[in-house]
Structures are given as C-alpha cells and as structure tokens.
Structure 1
Amino acid sequence: MPDSTIPAVEARGVTKRFGPTTALDDAGIAIAEGETHALVGRNGAGKSTLVSILTGLQRPDEGKILFAGRPAPAFADRDGWRRNVACVYQKSTIIPTLTVAENLYLNRQAGRGPINWRSMRARARDLLDQYGVDVDAGRLAGDLNVEQRQLLEIARALSFGARFIILDEPTAQLDGPAIERLFERMRDLRARGVTMMFISHHLEEVYQICQSVTVFRDARHILTRPVADLPHDELVAAMTGEAAARYQARSRAVRPDAAVVLSAEKLTLGERYHDVDLTVHAGEIVGLAGSGSSGKVGLAETLVGLYAADSGTVTVNGGRPKPGDVTAALRAGLGFVPQDRHKEGFVPLLSIAENATLPIAHKLGRFGAVSPALRRAKAERMIESLTIKTTGPSQPVGDLSGGNAQKVVMARALADDPKALVVINPTAGVDVRAKQALLGAVEDAADRGAGAVLVSDELDDLRICDRVLVMFHGRVVKEVPRGWTDADLVAVMEGVSDD
C-alpha cells in the first residue's frame, strides 16, 4: 500500500537558466497522491519551464524531481518518463491525418510482427470505453472537436501507465457545458487514484476542481495552500504581487450619428447561424455571446472572410469585400484577432517585428522591398504600447509566453489602424495583466473611432461592450445593453431567460 505521506510527484529546489534569463529560481512543488493540484501564475512566471522539467523534456540546472519518493528516470529514458507522467497541452499533439486508434497507439502499433489493424482498433475501443470517451476508434482524429481531442489525449496518456497527468489550460477553447463535462471526467479520474496538476488562468476553475494550489511568480515559488483556505483576493495578490484589480471598463458614449463601419444583413451559413443582422458604429464595441453551438464564432469568422455565407451580405467601411476572402476584408479596413493564436494567429519562427507588421509590409519600404529599420521602429512602438515582454523586435514569437504571443496577434490586427475590428476570445489562456492590456487595446481602438465586434466566453471581457448580442442555436435572441448582471446574461445564453 502506498505511503500517503509521500507526494506522488515533487520538484525540489529546481533552478533552470536559459542564457542570462533565469526561468526557475530554486522553485518547487509537491502534489499529494490522488490530488488535483493547481499551478497558477502570470505568463512568464515559470509554469511552462516546470512542466518541461516534470515531463523530462528539459534538465534542471539544479534540484531534483521525485515520483512517489523515487528519483525521476534518466533523462534519455523516454519510456520511463511516460510511465510516470503525461501532459495534455493547450496546443493539441493529436495528428489529424491519423485515426483515433492510430493516435492512441502511435509507435506502439505492434510487437515484432506486422501491424494487426483489427486488433489495434479493438484495443483502442476497449481503452476508450474504459475512460468513457465516446469516439469511434476508426474515425479520423482531424474530424474530432476540441473536447474530443482532449479526452483522446488523456486516454492516450493513461494508456502508458502514468498515474500523474498535467493538464495545461485544458478549458481555453471549451464552452461552459464542455468544461463541466471535462471536470466530471477529472473527478472520475481522481476517484480512481489519478493525480493531476491543473494549469489555468481562470481562477474560478481552480476553486471548482482543485484541492490545493501553488503560485509561482517571477520564476520562484510563492505559496502552496489548500484552495478552501485561500480567498480569491489573496490568490491574485500572490500571483501579481499586489492587490487584486478587475479590469475597469471605460465609460463611453457612442454618438447617434456615428458612421456604420461594419454590418451584416440576413447572413446565413448552413446550420451554424440563420438570418443574422448586425450593425457596428464607429467608436462602438458590440459583444457576441452564447454557448459553443450558438454560432457566434462562425458569424465572426464570416465577417472577416474566413467563410462565405450561403446568403446575406457583409459591409466593411462602406464597401462589400468579396465573400470568403480574408485579404479583401483586411484591405477594406478590418482588423482580426482569430480564435486560435497557435493555428491562425502567428508564424512561430518569424520575429515579433515580422509577425506584427505582416499586414503593412507593403507600406514599410519602396519598390516591393521592406525596410528593416522601418519595420523595427514600428514593432518597437507596438511592443511599448502593448507592454510585450520580450528581448526585442527580433525575438521569435514562438519563444514568447502565451500572453505576450497574444499581444503580438493583437498588435498585428491593429497595425494598419483599422476602421473595424473583429476579436475572438482575446484573453483565452492569458494572465490578469495580459487581459488588462488586451482589453485596453480594444477600448483604445474604439476611442480612436474604430468599431469592434468582441466574441468571448469570458463575462469579464464582455463588460467593455456597449451592448451584447446573445446568440442561441444560430440566431440572435436578445440585445443586452451595458449594465447587465452575470445571472441575467447567462440565463439568456443558456436559453432559460424569462423574456
């Protein structure tokens, strides 16, 4: 019988340096067996570095890792690490062109002989059934939704024998019902003795699903406490080093004679949404709210040309760009922050300057050549205005923390001073300070006369909106003016409003 006083996983006195940067400074964490333990902190606090060390992807310069009191496997022993720990990352590692079964048993399809595909699919079905994942083993993984991919990754991790799983921002791309289903699965796994480390910037989720929480700040361990004994304000203060401060939306009056900068009329796209009208005036921020199946994201992506509607029209700054043509929408004066920054937001190997100035590269030189000096100067102004934490404009965006990478995506959207802005889930997976900078950038754009559509699953994001259009089953069911309460807005989003 295991000793309950010995942590399931422990990092002691871990220090990790990357050149002159200290990513972890004598930091540590201890997670009890069968516990769901939160690790929180601002972007750049050291969370990702600790994950890479706990999973054997990086060697610590100092300190040690223990699993159930035993030293971690040798650095080169990948199978040994997989038997102890697995990580479900915010960015999926599922290979979309392979089937569910092939992803589950990648590189372990067979023993010494040829692959027995029927046997592998049967083993995959048994594994999926064991962990309650309702997905066809023969289905292409690329056809799965975000929730199904995450459950598939959890099942794959457990199939190696690991009883410790790291969940890195697992709810960032999920809606409310999907988050609750994930939490039910996590509770079930905990009841089976699985230990989990839960990383999230959504602190209410920490209180909902975790028993203990550890805070990192500036590469150091700050505190570890039971969640029940740690008030929300103290937790935020530990993360930021100062008292909690919710983003304060600015007071704003939209002129009744303000020009319409973005509109949609009678838009319909398959089963996603039907007969939607939308009008956004200069200086106005209009929110789109609803569940994951409401159609809000599909509508926003149609406005920017990612989809061509089956019927209806989109007008940007007085013109009608070609449907389904993102370049035409941007040329018409529209800026865009996509839902998935990893997939659609930036090119990780390109620098901050290159990513942020992509829409205006033709304006940064003559005769088709980009002036490095002009590009760098523009990028430096963007870095300053959005407080991007970086070594400089030449740093690759892929090396930045999530919040700073999202600021680069926002900088690119604002690079050409757009008249209209469409922003989808801008604060997903970023910390408190980054949220303030990103929401502030949207309000700054409105103050300069741009009109914005803000799509978000975060109620705090929607507070900056002058009005919120609530979508339900593909239709706009209600317009809610500023001043709403959480309960009122959620009731309309879930289709239980009395109105």
Structure 2
Amino acid sequence: MSTVPVVEAHQVCKRYGATVALDHADLTVLPGQTHALVGRNGAGKSTLVSVLTGLTGPDSGTVLFGGEPAPRAADRDAWRARVACVYQKSTIIPDLSVAENLFLNRQETRGGLLRWSAVRRAAEELLDRWSVAVDVRRPAGELSVEQRQFVEIARSLSFGARFVILDEPTAQLDGAAITRLFEHIAELQRQGVTFLFISHHLQEVYDICDTVTVYRDARHVLTAPVADLPRAGLVAAMTGEDTGSAAEARTTSARRGAPPVLRVRDLSLDPVYAGVSFDVAPGEIVGLAGAGGSGKTEVAETVVGLRKADAGTVHIGDRRIRPGDVPAALAAGVGFVPEDRHHQGFVPEMSIADNATMTVMDRLGPGIFVRSAERDRLAGTMITRLAVKTPGPELPVSALSGGNQQKVVLARALAGDPRLLVLITPTAGVDVRSKEFLLGKIAEAAEAGTAVLIASDELDDLRLCDRLVVLTHGRPATEFPAGWQDREVVAAMEGVDLDA
C-alpha cells in the first residue's frame, strides 16, 4: 500500500471577519486509515471539512490529495473524484428511488431517453460492490437512517473517491445500527477506502479509529495513534488542561425543601431520548449537558411544548403540561430562550419593543388591542434591565449586534416574570462581554427564586449550574454536583471512561 498521504492540510488559515476559524491548522491522513478528527464546538472541524471538500477556499496554506495540489474550486468533478463527505443531515432525496439517487444527473440515455433498466442495473452493481443490501427500486424515503448512510457512502465511491469524510455518522443511530455501521466501515477499509471520522462520542474513536487528530481553538493540537493515547490524555488535549479546573460553585439560592417548580418523569421521544427524569427547584440552576445528538436540546424543547413526547410527564408547579402545548407551558410560567435566535428567537424587522413584549401581550391591552405607551414602558424597563444598546425601543432588532439581539431574546423570556426559565445554548455566537453579562442576568433570575434549566454543551454556560444531568445517546448517563472538573464533564458528554 502506498505511503503517500491520501490528504494533507498544511498551515491552513481561514477567517470570517474577526473570527479565526482555522489558525495554521494541519492534518495528514494515511491510506487505509480510519482517522478521527475531534474537538469541542468551535474548534475548527467543520471549517476544515469545508476546505477539504472544496466548498471553502483557505486564506492561506495548502491542501494536497495523494501528493498533488487540490483541484480548482470550480472543478467539482475533480473534487468528487478525490473526496466525499457523508453529512449528519442526509442529502438523499426521499421522493426518488435508490437507483435515481445513486445516479442523479448521471443516468444513461439513448436517443435522449433515459434507460431505466440500465440505471437500475448499474445501481445494483454499485451496491453489490460495496456490500449494501438495499432494493434499488425502493423509494429512498422508506429507508432507515442507517440505510441512507450506506447508500450515500456507495454514491460517493461511485465518483471514484476513495477518501470519505463521515460527519457525525452515529448521531441518529441506535446501538445495533452503530455496530453495523462500524462493521461496514471496517469492510470498506479492507477494500482500500480511507475515512476521516468526526464524532462527539470519544468512545467511538477507540472503537473504530486507528489515529486521532485533536483541534482546539482553531488550531491543531495533537495527532497520535489511538492505541497509544489514554482517554484522559485525549480529553485533556480537547480541553487544554491536564487535570481539569474545578468549576466554580455558585452560591445557590435554591429553596431547600420547597416543592420543585419543574418535574420531568420518564420522558421519552423515540428515537431521540428515553427515560429522562429530573427536578428543578425554585432558585436552582440545572444543566442538561451532552454532545451533539445527545437529546439535550430536544428534552428542553419538550419541556416548553415545542416537541411532543411519546411517553412521560412534565409538571410545572402543580400543572401537568399537555405534550406539545406551547401556550400551556407559557401559561404555567415558562420563559424560553431557543437554540437559534435568528430563526426562533425574534422577528428581525419588528421593533425591540414588540419583540421584547410579545409573550405578555395580554397585559398590554384588551383583546387584540395593544396600548403602545404601556408596551414601550415595559420594553424600556427590559432594555434598561438587559442593557440593550439602542437609541430607542422602536429600532428593529435586525439593526442590533448579535449580543444585543440575544439580550432582547432573554428580555422576552423574562418579561413575564417566569417561574421557570428554559435556555438552550444561551450564549452561542456572542462576544465575551455579552456572554458574561447574559450569564450574570440568568444568575440574578435564579437568585430571585426562578427555577432555571440550561441545555448546553458549552462549559461556560454549564459552570453556572448547581448540578448537571449529562445525556449520552439520548439517555441520562450521570449527574454532577457543583464543583465538577472540566475533564470529567467532557468525558461524560463524549461517552468516555477516563479510567479505562
């Protein structure tokens, strides 16, 4: 087997405005390997994948395939012949058959007419070559997540690529499907296919990979054989600490002995999460921690009624909230900061005043009528409370910076003086000063007696919590009281036993 690397990235840099996405990053993948690329959110993994697949050009640095320079950005056929990426979100078109998906825009024709028998025969030969047992006539929408991934891998190999990037391939698979996927990867590896494996679940690195590369803060930190790298060493490379820094314990104002504000019992939503139970007391901040695909976000969205669980109960105070009932959750006293402020958190062209008060419209006037003076008074109070930088409440939210937009989203959540505040990655995409300010306001709400639930994988968010419930593959894995160490929590989120 050739020893020339399948792909090499040398000193690759990429900036987006003031954000450094890659800082002189390196990667070398040898033929026949299954090579892991790991790192915390924001480490630079996704940007590197964009560079390696030709979707993004580096500002500086070089990319080589088999020792030769990467193709021109416009030469998509040349890129497909060198590298393929199977993303977590499927690119299979559900309304087309498996055969049509495999040879979309490449179907054999005669006299301008499609030769469907030839397309199906070619599809069968392709799937047989790569050991994929799927009926090519079947509508792709009927395939399981696992089968769609196998079809996407076979399609990528049909272009000639023998280097495949797998981006979070296990995020939507159950244990049995993960085992079959790993067996399939091992078989393809024996046939000369090389994989770059990206996963939030570090145990999978030890299950399937030969070599691991760690990125942290947009930089290459470490490349080592998996067999030679203890789990504790891998987590330390990701977090930048040898022994883990203890999270500072917050002086909690949780009212001991008081009935919980939130009670979640045996909550399940197949196949996303199962058997989730926890309480949040008045004045307590509880974190739902977990990597991508852990189910933490979906559990939080279920609590506020955005998702409908298959089983289990959610009580807020003495009210049992009907599954999937957002108005009932709001009426019970929930304030909510969603994961994506741009699509879920505010209406961009509406004013700050309208956005900040839309959850308390019933207080601003009779029926559908709003007393504008009352709205502006309440909005002014929230603008002052959240220190939103604006010339006035009439300014559209779209005109604000990211940090100030997130302050408006938090203002809306707090406007109704909620009993329970549910926040999903509340400081995502904001600058350091805004992050500190937002976390301080969340702590103030808890000190005033509000129960707080934070779903996040950001350690800065989680350090605010009195305790953490860690989810792995949709199930509660462990719980940490305040005073936990970064490496312990990261290892639990990634599914790694530090003592193994």
TM-score under structure 2 normalisation?
0.65
Q: Does 1:227 align with 2:243?
A: no
Please state whether the residue corresponding to 2:181 is helix, strand or coil: helix
Please state whether the residue corresponding to 1:347 is helix, strand or coil: helix
State the partner residue of 1:106.
104
Counterpart of 2:326, as a letter, is V
> Cα–Cα, structure 1 residues 96 and 300, in superposed 2: closer, same or farther, change >3 Å?
farther
> Cα–Cα, structure 1 residues 160 and 374, in superposed 2: closer, same or farther, change >3 Å?
farther
Q: Does 1:93 align with 2:91?
A: yes
150-159 vs 248-257, greater mean Cα deviation:
248-257
Q: Cα distance, 1:58 vs. partner?
A: 1.7
Q: Distance in 2 between the 1:9 and 1:275 partners?
A: 43
Q: Deviations over 1:225-271 (max 9, x none)?
A: 22222333443443343335277696989767423434579999999
Q: Cα distance, 1:216 vs. partner?
A: 2.7
Q: Report if the CA contact (8 A) 1:333-1:418 is conserved.
A: yes
Q: Cα distance, 1:85 vs. partner?
A: 0.3
Q: Report if the CA contact (8 A) 1:351-1:396 is conserved.
A: no
Identity %: 50
Q: Distance in 1 between the 2:48 and 2:167 partners?
A: 12
Please state whether the residue corresponding to 2:343 is helix, strand or coil: coil
Q: Distance in 2 between the 1:168 and 1:104 partners?
A: 20
State the partner residue of 1:208.
207
195-204 vs 251-260, greater mean Cα deviation:
251-260
Counterpart of 1:394, as a letter, is S
Q: Distance in 2 between the 1:258 and 1:287 partners?
A: 19
> Cα–Cα, structure 1 residues 66 and 127, in superposed 2: closer, same or farther, change >3 Å?
same
Q: Report if the CA contact (8 A) 1:353-1:393 is conserved.
A: no
Q: Deviations over 1:89-128 (max 9, x none)?
A: 2333334444444333333244463334454445445544
Q: Distance in 1 between the 2:15 and 2:277 partners?
A: 53
State the partner residue of 2:372.
367
Q: Does 1:238 align with 2:234?
A: no
Alignment of 1:277-292 (within 5 A): 281-282=281-282
Q: Distance in 2 between the 1:122 and 1:267 partners?
A: 46
Q: Distance in 2 between the 1:55 and 1:156 partners?
A: 16
Q: Cα distance, 1:78 vs. partner?
A: 0.3
Q: Cα distance, 1:164 vs. partner?
A: 0.6
Q: Cα distance, 1:298 vs. partner?
A: 8.8
Q: Does 1:258 align with 2:258?
A: yes
Q: Report if the CA contact (8 A) 1:211-1:228 is conserved.
A: yes
Q: Report if the CA contact (8 A) 2:337-2:345 is conserved.
A: no
TM-score under structure 1 normalisation?
0.65
Q: Report if the CA contact (8 A) 1:34-1:191 is conserved.
A: yes
Q: Distance in 2 between the 1:142 and 1:358 partners?
A: 41
156-165 vs 445-454, greater mean Cα deviation:
445-454
Q: Report if the CA contact (8 A) 1:9-1:30 is conserved.
A: yes
Counterpart of 2:258, as a letter, is A
Q: Distance in 2 between the 1:299 and 1:220 partners?
A: 33
Q: Distance in 1 between the 2:385 and 2:359 partners?
A: 11
Q: Report if the CA contact (8 A) 2:212-2:224 is conserved.
A: yes
2:35 to 9, 17, 37: 37
Alignment of 1:347-496 (within 5 A): 347=343, 360-362=356-358, 367=372, 394-395=401-402, 418-420=418-420, 449=449
Q: Distance in 1 between the 2:267 and 2:199 partners?
A: 36
State the partner residue of 2:80.
82
Q: Cα distance, 1:210 vs. partner?
A: 1.8
Counterpart of 2:333, as a letter, is G
Q: Distance in 2 between the 1:161 and 1:269 partners?
A: 40
Q: Report if the CA contact (8 A) 2:258-2:282 is conserved.
A: yes
Q: Cα distance, 1:197 vs. partner?
A: 1.2
Structure of larger gyration radius: 2
Q: Distance in 2 between the 1:103 and 1:147 partners?
A: 16
State the partner residue of 1:330.
330
Aligned residues: 451
Q: Distance in 1 between the 2:286 and 2:177 partners?
A: 25
Counterpart of 1:362, as a letter, is M
Please state whether the residue corresponding to 1:206 is helix, strand or coil: helix
Please state whether the residue corresponding to 1:58 is helix, strand or coil: coil
Q: Report if the CA contact (8 A) 1:351-1:394 is conserved.
A: no
Q: Cα distance, 1:7 vs. partner?
A: 0.5
State the partner residue of 1:60.
58
Alignment of 1:301-340 (within 5 A): 303-306=303-306, 315-319=315-319, 324-334=324-334
Q: Cα distance, 1:171 vs. partner?
A: 3.0
5+ residue gaps in structure 2?
A: 290-294, 361-369, 390-398, 483-487, 493-500
Counterpart of 2:372, as a letter, is F
Q: Distance in 2 between the 1:218 and 1:395 partners?
A: 21
